[in-house]
A and B are shown apart, each in its own frame.
Chain A
Amino acid sequence: MMALEHLTRLTLSHNKLTEIPQDIVLLVNLEKLNLFNNHIETLPSNLCDFTKLKTLNLAINRLKALPRGFGAFPVLEVLDLTYNNLNESSLPGNFFCLETLRALYLGDNDFTTFPAEVGKLQNLQVLCLRDNDLIRLPKEIGGIQRLRELHIQGNRLSILPPELGQLDLCGTKQLFKAENNPWVTMIEDQMKIGPSHVFEYIRTNTYKFLYERYTEAEPEPALRKTERAKRFGKK
């Protein structure tokens, strides 16, 4: 199979692969690699040698960490790491060098915080952090000007950094999902009447003041949800 050097798309979803052979990079023209729903636990460290890879789907696997140098893909645009066992210490140092990324899916993982370096991904349009253990968001997300889709539902978030107000996530081509979080009452009330009200509210000076007071007080984060533990007993 490794002789198929003209191959541009390879889909291996719904198998029981536990690892990927290093030779896979011989498929030098590969633009799309789909390994959705396998049993992969580790990735070869030379994976980033795919110089033309634009889409990499590793959702529903058993990754605990990404190999060193993973951030060296030169043209990667869509990276799907949904439903793995990743957290903030699983990311290699150069992860946020993936500046060509326009969609990053990290839903159903184990992040409790998210690195501020995410602000370097200036081409990012979609950021999915759904169903993690996040207790706060980095304010740098507010600086990703092109962001139009943000999924942060199902976390342990109680407040939003006011910098998020710089984003426009309320149009018909934008998306903001934030339910199932232990929001403070002021935000929860705005959530009920719609995301545009949330953004209007966090742009106010009142909120900035309350936010500072709230973060200074360092409240105990909400407890981890018990139901989430189940999901690693995968079938």
Chain B
Amino acid sequence: MLQPLDKSTASPLFQRRLLHHNEIEKLNINDSRPNSISSNMSLLQNGVCARCGEGFKMKDQIVNSHDQTWHPECFVCAQCFQSFPGGIFYEFEGRKYCEHDFHVLFAPCCQKCGEFIIGRVIKALNNSWHPDCFRCQLCNGPLADTGFMKNAGRALCRECHAHEKARGLGKYVCHKCHAIIEEGHIKFKEEAYHPYHFNCKTCGSELTADAREKNGELYCLRCFDKMGIPICGACRRPIEERVVNALGKYWHVEHFVCAKCEKPFLGTRYYEKKNLAYCENHYHQLFGNICFVCNNIVAGDVFTAFNKAWCVNHFACSVCDRKMSQKTKFFEFDMKPVCKSCYEKFPGELKRRLKKNYDAQSKK
């Protein structure tokens, strides 16, 4: 989430620093010159030093600040016991410090340059920064006034954060709107974009992810197809190498494949059926007739029976091997043809069983 800097500047330390700074500018350090004789006289009589508790002698210089009085030698830094250079001191929890010791003890250090921070402090990621030192860790752009995004322990600007996030998700960031492209980007001049930022050069329609680039212009797929670059019928992408023209479509050589085994034909013979292409093997397996006897593709007339096919010349009794024609009476045994005379020579038990099964089948 974007973390507003107002919060950082509103932090107690920042407030305190600001207060002291302003206050000190205004502090005027009283020298020994009495404002009025009467007040000095009363101090001599009644006043005591705020540090040592002793009274003042006639010749003593008196330091007066905020209604308190000190011997000059008592008006010193609580840390180094030296007088305040230029009379400037910082007060914290009732004690006064010279500028140097106050910084050492209480002022925040910048996480980047290591120097003390006077003035506005940027509190972010558990550290303090000079406003000018608080920059995007990727593009180095200033963040003090724009706010930052936390990304893997780094402070990043909004754009760099979006890029990083997209990269982590394996997604693209639109080069135009800098938002993540949830699905379907287009590449244009090496950069990724939401397709809807563009319109087809020819028909003006808003583009979708299947838009194509040609000569530095973007086109919708329809218009692009019409420009004469063959599009592969399988992958729908333009074909830049060898083109196969088949089934009324264009194909990448490696995408023109058998509809059954999906192996590319690579220039070998193919067979067409219902606008699909098949290799010789699968065409015949699916649609062709392979003779049960010779196991070759039936070239001439086909004899079909028992869910099988035969070359006309190869259709014969499976027992005695005598050729049979369409007119020959034959029996079925294990889905093979048997001529009548052979069938009659079957064992009686087998014949009875076959007949029984046959009758049972025909009843259904």
Which residues does A use to contact B, with CB under 8 Å?
9, 11, 13-14, 32, 34, 36-37, 57, 59-60, 77, 80, 82-83, 102-103, 105, 107-108, 126, 128, 130-131, 148-149, 151, 172-175, 180, 227, 230-231, 233-235
Contact = CB atoms under 8 A, between A and B. Distances in A.
Given A14-B342, A34-B321, A175 B335 contact: yes
Contacts of B308: 173
A154 B277 CA distance: 41
Contacts of A175: 306-307, 335
B347 interface: yes
The main secondary structure of chain A at its interface with chain B is loop
B342 A105 contact: no
Interface string B319-332: 11100000000000
A82 B349 contact: no
Nearest to B361: A179
A151 B347 contact: no
B228 interface: no
Contacts of A128: 334
Interface string B277-312: 000000000000000100100000000001111000
Given A102-B295, A174-B307, A175-B307, A37 B334 contact: no
Given A36-B319, A227-B353, 4 more contacts: A9-B321, A11-B321, A14-B319, A34-B321
A82 B334 contact: yes
A67 B320 CA distance: 25
Contact of B335 (A149, A180, A235): A149
Contacts of B176: none
B345 A37 contact: yes
Interface string B107-138: 00000000000000000000000000000000
A231 B334 CA distance: 17
B94 interface: no
B319 A13 contact: yes
Nearest to A105: B334
Contacts of B216: none
B350 interface: yes
Contact of A151 (B335, B342, B348): B335
Interface string B323-364: 000000000001100000010011111100100010000000
Interface residues of B, number: 21
Given A151-B334, A175-B307, A235 B320 contact: no
A175 B336 CA distance: 12
A235 B351 CA distance: 12
B321 A235 contact: no
Nearest to A174: B307
A131 B306 CA distance: 19
Contact of B334 (A32, A107, A172, A234): A107
Contacts of B319: 13-14, 34, 36-37, 57, 59
Contacts of A103: 292
A108 B335 contact: no
A37 B307 contact: no
20 contacts: A11-B321, A13-B320, A14-B320, A36-B320, A36-B342, A37-B319, A57-B318, A59-B319, A60-B346, A83-B350, A105-B334, A126-B335, A130-B334, A131-B353, A173-B307, A173-B308, A173-B309, A175-B335, A180-B357, A235-B348
B299 to A, nearest CB: 18
Contacts of A80: 318
B307 A108 contact: no
B346 A37 contact: yes
Contact of A230 (B292, B307, B320, B349): B349
Contacts of B350: 60, 83, 108, 231
A105 B338 CA distance: 15
